Structure 1
Amino acid sequence: MSAEILHPFEELLQQRVVILDGAMGTMVQRYKLSESDFRGERFRDWSGKDLKGSNEVLLLTKPEIIEDIHTQYLLAGADIIETNTFSGTTIGLHDFLFKEEPRNGRKDPEFFQRVVDDPELRALAHEMNIVAAQVARRAADRVGNDSGTRRFVAGSLGPMPVTASLSPDVNDPSFRAVTFDQIRQSYADEVFGLLEGGVDLLLVETVFDTLNAKAALFAIADAFEKLGRSVPLMVSGTVTDLSGRMLSGQTVEAFLTSIAHAQPLVVGLNCALGPKEMRPYIEELAHTAPGYTSAYPNAGLPDPLSATGFPETPETLAPQLREWAENGWLNVVGGCCGTMPDHIRQIAQLVRGCAPRSTAGTAVRPAGVSPAASNAGETSAIGTSEAYVLRLSGLEPINITQDFGFVVVGERTNITGSPRFSKLILGGDFDAAVAVARQQVKGGANILDVNMDEGMIDSEATMTRFLNLIGSEPEIVRIPIMIDSSKWSVIEAGLRCIQGKGVVNSISLKNGEEEFLNHAAIVGRYGAAMIVMA
């Protein structure tokens, strides 16, 4: 790959370990702002909920504070600063800025449809993201010009307070408060604002639910396609405890497989854990990731007795991260919760001179190539030069090679092929139907085929309900799901429910090449493999 076609950010990644900034929220807390400070003139007469705690509101009421925080990180040595948009989606902002309440006593898709469609909230979110990018851009360009070293602005797309993979109601495991399409729409509003404001790259971060992240990645691919341009993409997941899994249950490798279709330039881990707890997962990431890697841990586990709420000081955190760099595990390093400019300054000093992680033999996407242009049927190896590997995932990965042998597909959850399963679904006995799926996995299935093509039922709704139910059963969804239907609407309904990389069975040329290519591209954008019929 010639240097001429590389994005300047990737050129820097090849030269040295790149420094990311630290926490925004920790810094905002140091200003000890009041409710009236958060409101400012813009929201002085606001009659809704208190705004204190909504850091994104400060973009419209106290932008000078956000710019000052960016500047402090840049002067400390950060190459990349993140926009103050961690919760800059309509869904992320709704607890502060949406005045309506749920009509049924709990937040559900009807409620969140009102949230994502609300014109005033959408306009506010759009404005905040444009301003966030402009404020960060101004600081980065000023310090970059003064220092003679280019600085980069990453548009931050943080997690949402709702999850598409898990039910918030323990008594109703099929319930989801929000839909994939609502999450996608909410992220789309943010993405267009960040790109309009002038970010250099996009960062989908603190991913605790991969299905939410896939909705964000879908929105990004849509935006790139509509705008006719793209920027480099970073994705950072969050391992939530010492089990090595995310909140939605995926392992690190399964997470990497699930997002590989978006071809991020950098993948990494951040938040939830301190450096001691995160270390084994960064090592795993370094050995499995496709291309460049990042890490920005918290300053330890929460400690209410510490000044920042976290125990790691600059002097204790930085040496631990230097060891990761010396081990050849890192391309990008920074800090998350509890880290401040002094932490970043110390990290920058200690990793100076450490060689960046080598990406030799990995498939790194050339800058400027949109995820929308990726091969929808890609089955090549991820993070290795080995050919003929199909990588799939549920909560855990499965790598199908030439030496794998027979792939066992559990077909007893196919309504067209199993009389017993058909009777259970038609009779509404979903508990027993889930038990059939569990038996298939215990019996040795590598992939679980789910088919709901039956004229007597609403196949889209039934597919969604069943996949949501088994999504709450880790022993079932540890393996990939095969969404089996002759109806495109049912296939797409299923794709909106699975966080792993599943398989579509199938698409075909029977209705012509144009429809086939369109369906193949959409399947690829959801991140699934596919079976193609002539």
Structure 2
Amino acid sequence: MSAAARSDALRRAFATRVVVADGAMGTMLQAQDPSMDDFENLEGCNEVLNVTRPDIVRSVHEEYFAAGVDCVETNTFGANLAALGEYDIPGRIHELSVSGARLAREVADGFATPDRPRWVLGSVGPGTKLPTLGHAPYVALRDGYEANVAGLVEGGADAILVETTQDLLQTKAAILGAHRALRKLGINLPIITHVTVETTGTMLLGSEIGAALTALEPLGIDMIGLNCATGPAEMGEHLRYLSQHARIAVSCMPNAGLPVLGKDGAHYPLSPEELADAHETFVREYGLSLVGGCCGTTPEHLRRVVERVRGLDLSPRNPRPEPGAASLYQTVPFKQDASYLAIGERTNANGSKKFREAMLEGRWDDCVEMARDQIREGAHLLDLCVDYVGRDGALDMSEIAGRFATASTLPIVLDSTEVPVLKAGLEKLGGRAVINSVNYEDGDGPESRFAQVTALASEHGAALIALTIDEQGQARTPEHKVAIAERLITDLTTNWGIHESDILVDCLTFTIATGQEESRKDGIATIEAIRELKRRHPLVQTTLGLSNISFGLNPAARVVLNSVFLNECVAAGLDSAIVHAAKIVPIARIPEEQREIALDLVYDRRREGYDPLQAFLEAFEGVDMKSVKAGRAEELAALPLDERLQRRIIDGEKNGLDR
């Protein structure tokens, strides 16, 4: 059977029945007591045994296949840049990957029959470096994984298993490296990804399972699951989440329980029968496609698993995906239950003088503090823009995005007109970013900015903000806005494989405060375009750079107009907005007279003797921000002391705590 035929057969098996993989490799190899000569004096480097003691490695594969498993993992867990770099042999990545895959392939072919194929999973381990913490550059790790996977394919692997991952940025480096290798070789193998969730309930760096799914599923993987760190008892709730939300197949390879320290050292207490019980439950309740074992599991463990679950039809799943973005720590759905998705605008060098000055002076801690301020103010995502004439934008983006990656719990919107700047940000963020933005200003040819940015978003699994701008400029009528949006949606879904729910269309607005006749109905045009777009495409997200509507007005007037206009847009179907969340006032707190004049202005309700723009300007003549801010102070002052303190503490506000 050809390599392509084997991988196709494996994909069909994953889609129809339960497939069983092997168990632990390292402990099985160590049990045969290889010598230091066998390790070439590289103690603990199991991958070297592929060359020096192929008989030992073959024997492990043979034991698992004899137990009845469908597939085995290659002995290449450490055949990557970080792990082999510890032994000063990074140049042997390809060699050891090929040799490990070739050994597994030979044994698999020896056990395969015409009606019972046996498969090889190319093991891609995490290495010893966490790029999110700056241990190694993302690009270097990605290129090392590309060499790793190229060797696995050459040796005969039928699928790539990226496993035991602890840092989402490292996981992405491995997946993208695998994709690059497969594209260059012209072969399409399944990519399986296993994250490792600790007993704390998160990955090592604090990532929840939801963040992992949101960040990794858009990268074009075939299956997601868990392995290592814990036994099956600790994995149940995480598997439940994946089963309920993942569009792709789900898998699990647990340890044989949590290690127990005894007089002879640590051992894993879970019996073969108990592992089989757990997998039978997981298969039945969560619809797993692939099961196996990790540390402490033996051929006998897998023999019992094979007897219980191998070949069973998949239990039906009805996943409910939650489109969204993710930080390193958490996922944030685009759809907010009780409100709009607030994209904080204060970390934008073009819109915030304070942020720009901190960036120009290299006051990175101040930049981080501004991000944290927006978290306290109620933002859900952070818009990060570092574009400034005369600066190295890629360097600034790398510096700030790298800090935001760990210092902010919110996902990042990378906002730039420069492709290298966007790329620098994506290579620092383990979570799922949103890119702001694409449009058709210079067309959609292969060299256009649209094509370059969309290709980058597609590779890194980012969501996209798409602006209603074409070769003729920014659309102003509802019809033109919707027509461009339709073109964008068709292009992005058909030609780039991006889900409708991962497209955020900005119908754009101009200021309505100039008094010019052509701008009077711009607010109406935006509202109508949003309403019609959501009618046609309910799954598409809508967003808006809100503050444009009030450009030119004094600060107090802008707060009211922005708040009223946002309320109208949300009623029309707006999902998100780029705003300063602290400067959005609840409609109920705006005096009725101001609210009505603002609505007259938005909907251009002119009549003889009444111009809403003039009335609005007069209503805010002499009004400053102190009166607007006083509203929140008065609201807090009216609360009982314990509630006031609680609100201050939750919001992280020091002001007022000493009173």
Give the TM interval when normalised to the shorter protein: 0.7 to 0.9
| Structure-1 separation of matches of 2:425 and 2:75 | 34
Q: Give yes or no for contact 1:240–1:272 (8 Å, CA) kept in 2.
A: yes
Q: Give yes or no for contact 1:326–1:354 (8 Å, CA) kept in 2.
A: no
| Residues 262 and 97 of structure 1: CA distance in aligned 2, closer, same or farther (over 3 Å) | same
Matched, 1:292 2:249: yes
Task: Give CA-to-partner distance per residue, 1:458-488, whole Å, 9 cap, x none.
Answer: 3222211112222222xx2x32100111111
Tell me how far 1:5 sits from its aligned partner.
Answer: 13
After the TM superposition, which residues 372-383 of structure 1 pair with which residues of structure 2 at under 5 Å, given as runs? Answer: 383=319
Tell me how far 1:354 sits from its aligned partner.
Answer: 4.7
Match of 1:190 in 2: 148
Query: What is the aligned counterpart of 1:136 among 97, 104, 108?
Result: 104
Aligned partner of residue 424 in structure 1, secondary structure:
helix
After the TM superposition, which residues 388-407 of structure 1 pair with which residues of structure 2 at under 5 Å, given as runs? Answer: 390-394=323-327, 395-401=329-335, 405-407=339-341
Aligned partner of residue 514 in structure 1, secondary structure:
coil
Tell me how far 1:332 sits from its aligned partner.
Answer: 1.1
393-402 or 156-165: which moved more?
A: 393-402
Task: Give CA-to-partner distance per residue, 1:296-326, whole Å, 9 cap, x none.
Answer: 1111112232777322221332222222223
| Structure-2 separation of matches of 1:27 and 1:178 | 31
Structure with greater proportional helix content = 2
Q: Give yes or no for contact 1:26–1:339 (8 Å, CA) kept in 2.
A: no
Match of 1:160 in 2: 127
| Structure-1 separation of matches of 2:299 and 2:265 | 15
| Residues 286 and 70 of structure 1: CA distance in aligned 2, closer, same or farther (over 3 Å) | same
Aligned partner of residue 255 in structure 2, secondary structure:
coil
Match of 2:221 in 1: 264
Matched, 1:80 2:71: yes
| Residues 88 and 5 of structure 1: CA distance in aligned 2, closer, same or farther (over 3 Å) | closer
Task: Give CA-to-partner distance per residue, 1:5-59, whole Å, 9 cap, x none.
Answer: 99211322244321110010010111112212222xxxxxxxxxx3120000001
After the TM superposition, which residues 120-519 of structure 1 pair with which residues of structure 2 at under 5 Å, given as runs? Answer: 121-122=90-91, 124-145=92-113, 148-166=115-133, 176-242=134-200, 244-305=201-262, 309-352=267-310, 354-359=312-317, 383-384=319-320, 390-394=323-327, 395-401=329-335, 405-473=339-407, 476=408, 478-512=409-443, 513-515=445-447, 516-519=450-453
Q: Give yes or no for contact 1:163–1:212 (8 Å, CA) kept in 2.
A: yes
| Structure-1 separation of matches of 2:53 and 2:87 | 17
| Structure-2 separation of matches of 1:308 and 1:349 | 28
Tell me how far 1:511 sits from its aligned partner.
Answer: 4.2
Aligned partner of residue 175 in structure 2, secondary structure:
helix
Q: Give yes or no for contact 1:328–1:356 (8 Å, CA) kept in 2.
A: no
Q: Extract structure 1 runs of 4+ deviating beyond 6 A.
A: none
Match of 2:44 in 1: 53
| Structure-1 separation of matches of 2:33 and 2:390 | 61
| Residues 262 and 430 of structure 1: CA distance in aligned 2, closer, same or farther (over 3 Å) | closer
Aligned partner of residue 149 in structure 1, secondary structure:
coil
55-64 or 304-313: which moved more?
A: 304-313
TM-score norm. by structure 2 comes to 0.67
| 2:254 alignment partner AA | P
| 2:324 alignment partner AA | R
Matched, 1:29 2:20: no
Unaligned runs of 5+ in 2: 470-659
Match of 2:60 in 1: 69
| Residues 402 and 253 of structure 1: CA distance in aligned 2, closer, same or farther (over 3 Å) | closer
| 1:460 alignment partner AA | A
| Residues 328 and 126 of structure 1: CA distance in aligned 2, closer, same or farther (over 3 Å) | same
Match of 1:377 in 2: none
TM-score norm. by structure 1 comes to 0.81
Q: Give yes or no for contact 2:7–2:159 (8 Å, CA) kept in 1.
A: no
| Residues 125 and 443 of structure 1: CA distance in aligned 2, closer, same or farther (over 3 Å) | same
Task: Give CA-to-partner distance per residue, 1:270-309, whole Å, 9 cap, x none.
Answer: 0001122222212222222223211111111122327773
| Structure-2 separation of matches of 1:499 and 1:142 | 41
| Structure-1 separation of matches of 2:266 and 2:259 | 9
Aligned partner of residue 300 in structure 1, secondary structure:
coil
| Residues 205 and 6 of structure 1: CA distance in aligned 2, closer, same or farther (over 3 Å) | closer
Task: Give CA-to-partner distance per residue, 1:133-164, whole Å, 9 cap, x none.
Answer: 1110111110113x951111111111020011
Matched, 1:94 2:85: yes
Aligned partner of residue 414 in structure 2, secondary structure:
strand
Task: Give CA-to-partner distance per residue, 1:393-442, whole Å, 9 cap, x none.
Answer: 11211222496742211111111111111122222221122111001011
The percentage of aligned residue pairs carrying the same residue is 35
406-415 or 307-316: which moved more?
A: 307-316
- The number of residues matched between the two structures is 459
Q: Give yes or no for contact 1:391–1:398 (8 Å, CA) kept in 2.
A: yes
| 2:117 alignment partner AA | R
| Residues 419 and 410 of structure 1: CA distance in aligned 2, closer, same or farther (over 3 Å) | same
Tell me how far 1:93 sits from its aligned partner.
Answer: 0.7
Aligned partner of residue 134 in structure 1, secondary structure:
helix
Aligned partner of residue 204 in structure 2, secondary structure:
coil
Task: Give CA-to-partner distance per residue, 1:152-177, whole Å, 9 cap, x none.
Answer: 111111102001112xxxxxxxxx12
Q: Give yes or no for contact 1:308–1:338 (8 Å, CA) kept in 2.
A: no
Q: RMSD value over aligned CA atoms?
A: 2.2
Q: Give yes or no for contact 2:7–2:189 (8 Å, CA) kept in 1.
A: no
Q: Computing the radius of gyration over CA atoms, which structure comes out larger, 1 or 2?
A: 2
Aligned partner of residue 472 in structure 1, secondary structure:
helix
Match of 2:477 in 1: none
| Residues 6 and 216 of structure 1: CA distance in aligned 2, closer, same or farther (over 3 Å) | closer
